[in-house]
Amino acid sequence: MKALFIIAILAAIAIGFWQVARLLGFTKSNQVATKKENNINGWLMLGLLAFVHGLLIYFMVVYGDVLLPKLSASTEGESIDTLFKITFGLILFVQFFTQILIFYFSFKYRGNIDRQAIFYADSHKLEMIWTSVPAVVLTGLVLYGIWTWNKVMDVSKDKEPLYIEIYAKQFQWEARYAGPDNTLGEANVRNIKGINTMGVDMQDKNAADDITVLKEFHLPKGRKVVFQFRSQDVIHSAYMPHFRAQMNCVPGMKTHFGFTPSVTTEEMRKNEDIIAKVEGINKIREAKSKELVAAGEDALEPYEFDYLLLCNKICGSSHYNMQMKIVVEEEADFNKWLKSQKTLAQKIN
């Protein structure tokens, strides 16, 4: 690969020298392209158009199934999906339309010795159209984006959201529930000691009932959850793709995000997109298992769908493995689960 790059760079330099030499008139070549050369160039333009668009359509069809399931797992996610669809629809339309025009006209008006170009200074009308149309469309998109963002971020209307803190560090997530008082106790990296790995300030009265969990955290269906994010070391990014949620975790500050889970883990497992995905993954695992068993090793366990919290900032060597399981369940089940968890104060004593 490296050798290929070096060859490509040397070739580019050689072409550069040759072009300069040609411009300076060192080489003797006929400066006017022949009809045949113009035709080849014209058809190459059309060929490139077909190739690029063919590739685009091919990738959309072949890799369409590695995208997220269509069903959003949060109510706020639905408006984000709509915004996404509109934006991508516009981009695709403009991309097809402008590329087709550019390459088709390059082909249509390819060099021809019998044809003379007309001098065309400018048209105010045209300038107005192609400046104002994108300006209006982009303003609309930005306003719609701001409106959607505010809808997601505004938690003032929710009477009793559930407060959770997500704590990031190299290379692990931890979660903390606010407990019966629904207020998270203060925390600071300087308080980290022993089992108090999130640096919760145990002198703060709000911290007395805080519940900390590792490995997995649960969320109630149908109740707004307001997340507070912190980081111990570097910038991480809390990414919960099924809920269409992502927020940076920045050392020394708190960031927030809110959403209402709308599909339980069990319900999502019955979603047809998920079923197809799980089947696909298990087919690959089965094939891999056969190889492993043949080599005298243990077979892989079949994959089962779970929501995940992932890190979406390259934060270090084990970034790829920084994840935490999310379980969404009915509120009654969630309350039962939360009750069974120990508070941090209990863990310390």
Residues of the shown chain interacting with Cu ion in the complex, contacts defined by CB under 5 A? 236, 311, 315, 322
Which of 240, 311 has the CB closer to Cu ion? 311
Contacts of 155 by beta carbon, 8 Å cutoff, 6+ apart: 161, 224, 226, 258
The neighbour count for residue 279, using CB atoms within 10 Å, is: 10
Q: Give min distance, CB of 191 to Cu ion, in A.
A: 21
Q: Is 347 helix (H, G, I), strand (E, B) or coil?
A: helix
Cα–Cα dist 94/59, whole Å: 18
DSSP class of residue 205? G
Provide, rounded to whole angstroms, the least separation between the CB of residue 169 and Cu ion. 8
State the DSSP H helix or E strand holding residue 176, giving kind and residue range, or none if neither.
strand 172-177
Output DSSP code: residue 322. -
Q: Which is nearer to Cu ion, 40 or 250 (CB)?
A: 250
The residue (of 170 and 182) whose beta carbon lies closer to Cu ion is: 170
User: Closer to Cu ion at the Cβ: 162 or 245?
Assistant: 245
Residue whose C-alpha is closest to residue 323's, from 220, 267, 242: 242
CB of 341 to Cu ion, least distance (A): 24
b/e sequence 108-122, b meaning 16+ C-beta within 10 Å: eebeeeeeeeeeeee
Closest CB to Cu ion among residues 200, 315: 315
Helices (H) and strands (E) in the chain, counts: 8, 10
Q: 3-class DSSP state for residue 100?
A: helix
- Residue 216 CB, nearest distance to Cu ion (Å)? 18
Minimal distance, residue 167 CB to Cu ion, in Å: 11
Long-range CB contacts (< 8 A, 24+ apart) of 44-51?
45/103, 45/106, 45/107, 45/110, 46/103, 46/104, 46/107, 48/103, 49/99, 49/100, 49/103, 49/104
- Strand-pair partners of 245: 240
Name the minimum Å distance from CB 174 to Cu ion.
13
Nearer to Cu ion, 268 or 311 (CB): 311
Give least dist CB 245 to Cu ion, A.
16
Return the amino acid letter for 191. N
Return the number of the residue (76 or 174) whose C-beta is nearest Cu ion: 174
For every residue of 229-298, DSSP letters joined together read EEESSS-EEEEEGGGTEEEEE-BTS-EEEEE-B-S-HHHHHTSHHHHHHHHHHHHHHHHHHHHHHHTT-P
Minimum Å distance from CB 249 to Cu ion?
8
Residue 79 vs 228, nearer CB to Cu ion: 228
